[in-house]
Amino acid sequence: MPDDQTDPVAAMMAADEASRALGIDVVEHGPGWARARMTVRPDMVNGHELAHGGLIFTLADTAFACACNSWGPLTVAAGAEISFLAPARLGDVLDADARARTRAGRTGIYDVTVRRGDQVIAEFRGRSSELRT
């Protein structure tokens, strides 16, 4: 990865205490896309003995944040939609692949697929809003 001075994603992730605390790692990124990874830990399991859907969302949301901030201007999530397609369990390694779908003015639509190996765990779609500066 480029260093923090020149790379808006690296600079953002360096300050992202929430992703760090969850062990979320941005393994690759480029203009309009990013891949983030998280392992389901004992403190991420919910009352049904499955990964808490909120943390699967958080993984996808971090990948989305990296993809939508990769262009440079400060960009935030306006909203998102997620469908949970298969459960994830303790010890699973999850990959979230985010990719820009459409950009129109200051709005963007990004798709994020969360997988365990080849199996799709969740499909996420985020709406981004570039801040006025």
Residues lying near a copy of itself in the complex (CB under 8 A): 11-21, 42-55, 57-62, 65, 74, 76-87, 101-102, 104, 107, 109, 111, 113, 120, 123, 125, 127
**Residue 12 or residue 67: which is nearer to a copy of itself going by CB?**
12
- Distance, CA of 91 to CA of 54 (rounded, Å): 17
- Distance, CA of 28 to CA of 17 (rounded, Å): 19
Q: Residue 28 Cβ, how far from a copy of itself at the closest point, in Å?
A: 17
**Residue 16 or residue 25: which is nearer to a copy of itself going by CB?**
16
Q: Residue 69 Cβ, how far from a copy of itself at the closest point, in Å?
A: 8
- In angstroms, the Cα distances linking 51 to 39, 68, 77, 92, 127 are 10, 26, 23, 9, 24
- Distance, CA of 45 to CA of 100 (rounded, Å): 30
Q: Residue 121 Cβ, how far from a copy of itself at the closest point, in Å?
A: 9
